[in-house]
Amino acid sequence: DGGITQSPKYLFRKEGQNVTLSCEQNLNHDAMYWYRQDPGQGLRLIYYSQIVNDFQKGDIAEGYSVSREKKESFPLTVTSAQKNPTAFYLCASRVTGGVRGANVLTFGAGSRLTVL
């Protein structure tokens, strides 16, 4: 079955360490997104990519970095510059353009990062 796989599901990090969260999709979707979720704040967009080798900052990109070397993969690195990284991180993807259902987002199961 097609879908989005995020790993790891749970991750613990010491302050000052960079960590990378994996997001892989086999849906042949062009666009991929990273969101951060904190209690009571809904989802906030970190980065998104509409096409391979291109990505744009979202609303809260500071302290994060991404790459899009392959269509299937959109890893997120949480750097030591992110002051409050403890959160639930969600990856999503969707088809772009005029295709029917183009606007529906498909989500992964999420990764919970805790900084010790």
Partner 1 sequence: AQSVTQLDSHVSVSEGTPVLLRCNYSSSYSPSLFWYVQHPNKGLQLLLKYTSAATLVKGINGFEAEFKKSETSFHLTKPSAHMSDAAEYFCVVSDTDFGSGTRLSIRP
User: Contact between 90 and partner 1 (CB under 8 A)?
Assistant: yes
Total of residues contacting partner 1 (CB under 8 A): 22
Q: Rounded distance, CA 94 to CA 27, Å?
A: 8
Q: Cβ closer to partner 1: 76 or 92?
A: 92
**Residue 112 makes contact with partner 1 by CB under 8 A:** yes
Query: Rounded to an integer, what distance in angstroms lies between the CA atom of residue 22 and that of residue 7?
Result: 5
Q: Does 105 bind partner 1 (CB under 8 A)?
A: yes
Count CB neighbours of 84 within 10 A.
9
Is residue 112 classed exposed, middle or buried when 0-12, 13-18 and 19+ CB atoms within 10 A define those classes?
middle
The residues of the shown chain that bind partner 1, judged by CB under 8 A, are 4, 6, 33, 35, 40-43, 45, 48, 88, 90, 92, 94, 103-105, 107-110, 112
